[in-house]
A and B are shown apart, each in its own frame.
Chain A
Amino acid sequence: MKTLPIKKIIDLNTYFDINDKIMDFYKNFYNIDIVGFRCSKKTLLNHRNSVIFRTKNDLDHNFEKCGFFYLVESNFTGNININYSNTDIITINKFNDVKSLLKKLSGKNLGIEFLLSDLNAYKNLEIGTWIHTVQYFYNLCKKYCHQFIISSGARNIYDVPSSKIFNIFLEKINIDTDRYWNEVNEWLDIKKRGFIYGP
């Protein structure tokens, strides 16, 4: 079987300030090519093409978005009645009613994101349950035409997993790693329509 070439390794969700030095570290030691972040500091000068700015639907961040490719994010906390129009990516924080959500938004090609940092809240013996549940949602994402995404959700640099750790998680969830990274890259290419060029 012909294998697809691996494109870029992406961690779409981090919660801390990223600067050029940290980005160098990611690229050289962790093999992570693109990082999603939401801080407002403009400390990234050399790696503008390696970052994706995340913004909430209800906030106007036009100034900060300038020069960055951005995604509009929402969190899913169990309420399927929230309006997800204009949203690119939904982070799943609670597993209740996720199936109904995916069914409701069927065919919209949204990014459905699961965070590795959520595992911190699990007891050791429940980690298998998380993997099994996420595997089930992966199949649902396929069924309802959404893009399944795994991100770190890192609060500091020490929480960030390397590309190797990402691949190990994907293998545990029974996902072909090459195929996954290609799909995420293609999905991001489609979402690039929202790019705002800076002055």
Chain B
Amino acid sequence: MALKKKKYRYICLFIPSDHYVDPTVLIKKICYLYLQLFGSIKFHTTLIKYIHLKNIDKRFVILKCGLSDLPDILLSIYLTSCITKLILFISGTLKSIKNKIKSFQKLDIFN
């Protein structure tokens, strides 16, 4: 029997320049909260990781995680209150994330 392919989602966060946090620190804080909220066994199925994209503003941080764990990951990101961030959008492809970033930059609220 063929293994079912795991589906992923990309989460785009916006961190304002004056609150810049290194993405690895951000991931650590989110994972720490996730571990405390949902436990170690669930955490190891999330496969959360930071995605580095070229030609993208440093203020945008893109994370990748399993689709099935998306709600719990979003909850952990939202509750990581020590970091100033916006959870901008969730998408299935990086191409779509890039397009949405462009439309967000046009908004001109955070510049």
Q: Do A and B bind each other?
A: yes
Chain B interface size, as a band, is 20 to 34
Contact partner of A169 among B36, B75, B85, B87, CB < 8 A? B75
**Interface residue ranges of A123-162 to B (CB < 8 Å):** 124-125, 127-128, 157-158, 161-162
Q: Tally of A-B residue pairs with Cβ under 8 A?
A: 44
CB atoms of B90 and A158 under 8 A apart? no
Closest to A168 in B: B71
- Write out the residue numbers on chain A whose beta carbons fall within 8 Å of the beta carbon of B81: 119-120
Q: Verify if A24 is at the interface (C-beta below 8 Å from B).
A: yes
CB atoms of A165 and B78 under 8 A apart? yes
CB atoms of B107 and A21 under 8 A apart? yes
Min Cβ gap A43→B in Å is 13
Given A21-B107, A22-B109, is A164 in contact with B74 using a C-beta cutoff of 8 Å?
A: yes
Would you give the 0/1 interface string for B88-111, flagging 1 where the beta carbon is closer than 8 Å to chain A? 111000000000000010011100
12 additional contacts (CB under 8 A) given A25-B107, A124-B79, A158-B84: A119-B79, A119-B81, A124-B33, A124-B36, A125-B36, A157-B86, A158-B16, A162-B87, A165-B74, A165-B78, A168-B71, A168-B75
Chain B residues close to A by CB (< 8 Å): 16, 32-33, 36-37, 71, 74-75, 78-79, 81, 84-90, 104, 107-109
